[in-house]
Chain A
Amino acid sequence: MPTSQPLASKDASLFRQVLKCYEQKQYKKGLKTCEQILRKNPKHGETLAMKGLITNSLGKTEEAFAIAKDALRQDMKSHVCWHVYGLLYRSEKNFEESIKAYKMALRFEPDSQQILRDLALLQIQMRNYDGYVETRKSILQTRPQLRQNWTAVAIAYHLAGQLDEAEKVLIKYEETIQGNVPKWDIEHWETALYKNRIIADSGDIGRALEHLESMAKNCLDKVALLELRAEYLLKLGRKEEAQQAYRILLDRNPERRDYYAELEKAMGIAPKNRHEAKAIYDEYANKFERSDAPRRIPLDFLEGDEFREAANAYLSAKLKKGVPSTFANIKALYADDAKRQTIFELVNSYNEAQEQGKENGETNGSGPSQFRLWTLYFLAQHYDHYRTRNMDKALECLNKALKLAPNTVEFHMTTARVYKHAGDLQKAAQKMDEARILDKSDRYINTKTAKYQLRNDQNEDALKTMSLFTRNEANGGPLGDLLEMQCVWYVAEDAESYMRQNLLSLALKRYQSLWEIFEVWTEDQFDFHSFSLRKGQIRAYIDMLKWEDSLRSHPMFVRAALGAIGAYIKLADMPCLAQGALANGDAARYEKMTDAERKRALKKAKKDAQKAQERAAALAAAKKDDKNKNAQVAEGEVKKEDPDPHGIALARTETPLEEAAKWLKPLLEMSPERLEAQIAGFEVQIRRRQWTLALNCLNKARELATPEDPRVHEMVVRLRHAVNTLPAEEEFKAPETREALLEEVEKILSKDTELSAYNDEFLEKNKDSAAHVRSALRIRSVLKPEAKKDMSPLLSVLDIESTTLDEANEGLKLLYSFGVDENGYKTKAAAKFPLAKVFKGAK
């Protein structure tokens, strides 16, 4: 439908020029041309629309919307005006409104490929499958000659759960091409394999196998063919053939663990019958001399002498060859006491034989053997493992190894690691840095060094280390580049370091960056909706969509969410922290300080924060100068300066708990099976006085944890206590009612329970477990604040042999949070963990 506002031919050509300017990002020129047209035709809707679009590209969103609306009020029948209106919403990420606008645009221009494509993109991005089916069908109708338009409709049906429709579309497509397929046409075979997957997904495996075999000769993805065939045969119970199929696959790749597992199934070997299974692995070990899997897998299930024999063969071969990762390969077996013992005995016996050999003068003069070096290295890692930790012995082994081969980077790195585990983070970082200097071009060790520096809260040093490998002229310097490169481990470690220093603003800033990176990963799909179709990579595309759907269950998101929620809870509990860092003890004591003390503490904190800010600003300014010299910024394109680079505004939020709830939502949605997530949910909701939501989290946590779990105990008592002390005027929002809440809590712990006694009993029963003791003491401080001073159970925990450094550290944090004198504890802990820096400096 033509616009209702035709332009004179001269103006029409000017309009075409505007379109061109926009495409070529010549925004200023485009705007000028718009004004030229508007001078004569002030009410020309499409020109106004283009003016709005360009204005938006120049970063003036609000103005752009006003212009675009005006455009529509002048010419509401123009698809251009509606399309632009949709594009503006799209750039604001308001996809719902954008979809509506595109639909209006299509009403006036139903065949526009551009708009149909834009609409389809948004629909699939929003997982609006029904809408996507409709739009893809329209596109197919207008352009049936393109294969991707057919596959797209099939994908749409597939995702909407209509497998039979999806298959029908692909059959129709095959009819249209009538078998005219060039041999090398990868995309065709990809589509065929996709069709095969649809058939299999619909449950008819027999037909899927038939279909697969019909293309076996020509299809180019041989591995997929073989794997699917084996899978189908096994599912159909054709075991002989399935065996053969898996053997063909194993001959191609004897390292794939699941092939072995499937072969076992095909051979009907019961999970208990390990004797028969071993024969398979022996067979492949003999057949493939260099293969790891058939040698390593049996170690998982062999026992006793058989295990000893196999482990001996495995370990000695690896160590003689000098495989640095030998320990990492077998570490998983350390969960089994007997196997751990056997492994140690074996490697220790190599060591003893080697030492003996040396005494007997058996070294051949050409330097230390690989076997000697990596045996020592293995033992060092053994003594560094948390189940068998002995720091002195670990260092002894490493020193021996270093004497023999002073420049071996692994030995240096593990030395650093041993110090880290002993709690001397400074020495650990220093050792790692020494290792780095051995080979400055090794990016791996560079990264490790930065990580160790962050663990030691040397944030600036860490960034400097990273900057040896970043593009430092990037917007925002090295940190800007790390963010741009989505280096999430660094951002997370940096955040956690700032958390330890109680620099909540910077910690929140980093967490915010992580949030944004995940947003970007969601957005990245946009590129693939069209790219994958064009390239015909359908199966990978469908996998990608599924991956995206559960993106926020990723461990990194969980880690960031838990951290950010922790930071906001801290802010809610101690608003003074928004002012900047207060040293650990100060934060807890703040509430009890005299006014003068408070002033001093805050002043110091503010000053520290300011200093940090100034340093960063100076650094940024210096960088900017360089940048201006060599950067060429595209015309008019806006470089968005970060208005809050230090997260000051983030930390000053008036509603920290609402911010926490924002993180909580995807966390609970995507990772409800994580106990930590439910605990975080409880902590947030109980502070928001959202009793039912807190109760829900508690109930889920009770399902996930053992009844004796200290954190569950804590939550149960706290909720009971909170409910017992609810004020009469507490408001309940429908459908929540006081009665229902009371009833539900009663089911967990009766209102008649004497909570203090209940908690003391729990403490008495679990006084040998550090985590239980901490929970009980926290509860006690809630129920009887005056009993806070009695920290003897916490000190007793230090007497227990098995108490780890982490546990001891948690105990110290508890003391800080109570604002109780920590010197006695520190002295005692320092005796137990002499290298740990946190316990140093007791008065």
Chain B
Amino acid sequence: MSPPLTPPPQLHLAPASDPKNISSLKRLNTLLLPIPYRESFYSDILSNATDSALSRVAFWEGSISIVGGIRARWELTDGTLPKEPIADITTIRGGKIYLMTICVLSPFRGVGVAAALLADVVETAKRWGVEEVYAHVWQENRDALEWYRKRGFVVDEGVVEGYYMRLKPGGARIVRLRIKGVS
């Protein structure tokens, strides 16, 4: 695991839960990710407190356009969603965090944008005392797998076949980060 670097000074993060930022996040994801997400993927960020706390967009030097974004959700330990949305997030203890999307515009890669976005989620994860932060990664996305590995994630053995219906091959690998220091 590489030592943490300080984020670049031009970078600042903002909650995604602002209608304008949400539409920016949507455009970013559509541009960069090979699979489309449902409308609720975005609208839930506004309505659901945990989704909101786990979603961020990244701006570069006061620019009005975002350069990166992260979207995650909170799950119960068994991987299911809570029956009722959590109203007061300060009450959350345990469970897991599932990273749904993270991406950065290509010219802004390699300077710590994704690292800062992930750090924000991991910080929340620690605060909530979750067991792990995990994600699916397309089996062919070597760069992303490597990126997670370098950030302390462990890649599960084996491939989840047929996870991505639109991609060929369609398998996914699961990456997991154990969260220590549960309070």
Contacts and interface: CB of A to CB of B under 8 A. Distances in A.
A103 interface: yes
Interface string A541-562: 0000000000000000000000
Nearest to A100: B31
A73 interface: yes
B108 A72 contact: yes
Contacts of A100: 31-32, 106
Interface in B138-183: 158-159, 161
Nearest to A96: B34
B108 A77 contact: no
Interface string B17-40: 000000000010001100000000
Contacts of B60: 73, 76
A734 B156 CA distance: 12
A174 interface: no
Interface in B108-139: 108
B65 A73 contact: no
B23 to A, nearest CB: 12
B138 to A, nearest CB: 14
A735 B161 contact: yes
Contact of B107 (A68, A77, A103, A107): A68
B161 A734 contact: yes
Interface string B58-88: 0011011101000000000000000000000
Contacts of B161: 734-735
Contacts of A101: 106
Nearest to A72: B107
Contacts of B158: 734
B159 A73 contact: no
B105 interface: yes
B36 to A, nearest CB: 12
Interface string B87-103: 00000000000000000
B2 interface: no
B67 A104 contact: no
Nearest to B106: A97
A73 B31 contact: no
Interface residues of B, number: 17
B6 interface: no
A734 B173 CA distance: 12
Interface in A69-109: 69, 72-73, 76-77, 85, 97, 100-101, 103-104, 107
A734 B65 contact: no
A129 to B, nearest CB: 15
Nearest to B66: A76
B31 A76 contact: no
A77 B64 CA distance: 9
B106 A73 contact: no
Contacts of B108: 69, 72-73, 76
A326 to B, nearest CB: 53
Given A76-B67, A100-B32, A69 B159 contact: no
A104 B10 contact: no
Interface string A48-72: 0000000000000000000011001
A77 B32 contact: no
A73 B105 contact: no
A76 B159 contact: no
Given A734-B159, A734-B161, A735-B161, A73 B10 contact: yes
Contact of B105 (A68, A77, A104, A735): A104
B65 A76 contact: yes
B32 A73 contact: no
Nearest to B157: A734
Contacts of A72: 107-108
A73 B9 CA distance: 12
A459 B149 CA distance: 52
Nearest to B158: A734
A100 B33 CA distance: 11
Contacts of B67: 76
A740 to B, nearest CB: 13
B106 to A, nearest CB: 6
A406 to B, nearest CB: 64
A103 B31 contact: yes
Contacts of B65: 76-77, 107
Contacts of A73: 10, 60-61, 107-108
Contacts of A97: 106
A77 B31 contact: no
A76 B32 contact: no
A77 B59 CA distance: 12
Interface string A502-535: 0000000000000000000000000000000000
A101 B31 CA distance: 9
Contacts of A734: 158-159, 161
Nearest to B64: A77
A425 B108 CA distance: 63
Contacts of A85: 106-107
Nearest to A108: B65
Contacts of B61: 73
B164 to A, nearest CB: 15
Contacts of B159: 734-735
B142 to A, nearest CB: 15
Given A76-B60, A77-B65, A734-B161, A69 B107 contact: yes
A320 B161 CA distance: 71
Contacts of B31: 100, 103-104
Nearest to B162: A735
Interface string A678-716: 000000000000000000000000000000000000000
B163 to A, nearest CB: 13
User: Which has the most chain B C-beta neighbours within 10 Å: A76, A85, A101, A104?
Assistant: A76
Interface string A626-642: 00000000000000000
B75 to A, nearest CB: 25
A107 B65 CA distance: 10
A75 to B, nearest CB: 9
B99 to A, nearest CB: 22
Contacts of A77: 63-65
B124 to A, nearest CB: 28
A77 B63 CA distance: 8
Nearest to A75: B63
A439 to B, nearest CB: 56
A661 to B, nearest CB: 15
A97 B34 CA distance: 12
B146 to A, nearest CB: 18
A72 B60 CA distance: 10
Contacts of B32: 100
Nearest to B61: A73
Contacts of A107: 27, 65
A101 B63 CA distance: 17
Contacts of A103: 31
User: Which has the most chain A C-beta neighbours within 10 Å: B64, B105, B106, B108?
Assistant: B106
A117 to B, nearest CB: 20
B87 to A, nearest CB: 37
Nearest to A734: B158
Contacts of B10: 73
A68 B108 CA distance: 11
A743 to B, nearest CB: 19
A500 to B, nearest CB: 39
Lowest 6 CB-CB distances: which A-B pairs, in order? Answer: A72-B107, A69-B107, A734-B158, A76-B63, A734-B159, A100-B31
16 contacts: A69-B107, A72-B108, A73-B61, A73-B107, A73-B108, A76-B105, A76-B107, A77-B65, A85-B107, A97-B106, A100-B32, A101-B106, A103-B31, A107-B27, A107-B65, A735-B161
Given A100-B106, A104-B31, 7 more contacts: A69-B107, A72-B107, A73-B108, A76-B105, A77-B65, A104-B105, A107-B65
